[in-house]
Homo-oligomer: A and B are copies of this chain.
Amino acid sequence: MLNNRQDELLKLIVEEYVKNVRPVSSKSLCESLKCSSATIRSEMSMLEELGLLEKTHTSSGRIPSEKGYRYYVDHLMVPKDLTGDDMLKLQTIVKNNQLILSDSIMKSLEIISELTDCTIISLGSSSNNTVVSKVEVIPITDNSVVGIIVTDTGHVENRNIMLNEKISVTEIKQTVDIINKYIVGTPLNEVNEKLEFEVKPIIGKNVTSQKKLFEMFCSFINDVVSDSNIQMAGRNNILKQPEFNDVSKIRNILEKFDDREFIKKITDKKDNDEGDINIYIGSENAFDDDISIIKTTYPINGENRTIALIGPKRMEYDRVITLLNYLRDNM
Q: Nearest Cβ in chain B — how far from A180, in angstroms?
A: 12
A138 interface residue per 8 A CB criterion: yes
How many copies of this chain are found per oligomer? Answer: 2
- In the complex, identify which listed stretch (A1-9, A33-41, A150-158, A323-331) lies at the interface while the others stay far away: A150-158
- In the complex, identify which listed stretch (A51-59, A247-255, A290-298, A305-313) lies at the interface while the others stay far away: A247-255
Q: Given the complex, which residues of B lie within 8 Å of A141, measured CB to CB?
A: 301
Given known contacts A140-B133, A152-B140, A162 and B250 CB-to-CB distance under 8 angstroms: no
Q: Verify B245–A144 contact, CB threshold 8 A.
A: no
Q: Verify B162–A138 contact, CB threshold 8 A.
A: no
Alpha-carbon distance between A251 and B245 when the two chains are bound, in angstroms: 11
- Chain B residue at minimal CB-CB distance from A164: B97
Q: Given the complex, which residues of B lie within 8 Å of A148, measured CB to CB?
A: 136, 148, 150, 156
24 contacts between A and B (CB under 8 A): A97-B162, A100-B140, A100-B161, A102-B160, A103-B160, A134-B138, A136-B148, A140-B152, A140-B154, A141-B301, A144-B154, A146-B150, A146-B154, A146-B156, A148-B148, A148-B150, A235-B258, A239-B247, A239-B250, A239-B254, A240-B251, A244-B247, A245-B247, A250-B250
